Amino acid sequence: MNLKKIILFVFGMMLLTGGLFAQVDKAGAIDTMYLEPYQIDAKNWAVNVSLFNDEEIIAISLPVIFSAGNTKIVSDSTIFKGGRADHFGVKIARADTAAQCVTIGLIWALGGSVPPIEPGTGRIATIFISTLDGSDFSAPLKIDTTTTSPSNSLQMVMPSPEKEGDPAEEVIPFLIIKSPEAKK
């Protein structure tokens, strides 16, 4: 009797969990965002933001927080020129000096006349960082993603793969932060 219950239980569990193994990943490979900091000179650093994606991307939210020990630093500018999102209709980099962070927001086009980011690999933007008082900073630059007001977190949006008119889908990319390269 106990053997029948065990077999029935195992068979029931297989039926209940079998659907989990049949799921298909609609997005394909794992999309990956790269943050690559490097030192320009004694007072300035930059962070290249790069992306690998295997589907079209129509929007990106990337909040980045940074620190350099006790030295107060700020994102003084961000460029998109020459990057994979250069053609996007909305390109925003909102710096928060008090929190030592910057939030990058990209939206392809509200009217739909601009193409999305095509599948591939390449630079999206470059963030430039300097000290608030213009002094040198030798402490290593530390960077990470964060959440900024009002609830901006690392995420991307791809158009619905099903059919046009369906809602877009959120994609959370894997984040790789490369070791800072100091100027030699």
pLDDT tens-place string over residues 144-181: 888 888 888 999 998 876 666 667 788 889 999 998 76
15 against 26, higher pLDDT = 26
What is the mean predicted confidence (pLDDT) over 108-122?
84
Look at residue 18 and tell me if it is in a domain.
no
Look at residue 169 and tell me if it is in a domain.
yes
Look at residue 60 and tell me if it is in a domain.
yes
Look at residue 1 and tell me if it is in a domain.
no
Look at residue 10 and tell me if it is in a domain.
no
Alpha carbon distance 136, 93 (integer Å)? 24
What is the mean predicted confidence (pLDDT) over 53-74?
90
> Is residue 41 scored above 70 in pLDDT?
yes
The pLDDT mean for the chain works out to 83
Angle at 128 between CA 127 and CA 131, to 5 degrees: 135
Look at residue 7 and tell me if it is in a domain.
no
Domain count for the chain? 1
Nearest Cα to Cα of residue 85 among 113, 58, 114, 124: 124
Alpha carbon distance 101, 147 (integer Å)? 10
Q: What is the CATH number of the domain that holds 61?
A: 2.60.40.680
Q: How many CA atoms lie within 13 A of 17 on its CB side?
A: 6
User: In this structure, what token pair is assigned to residue 160?
Assistant: 């619905």
pTM: 0.79
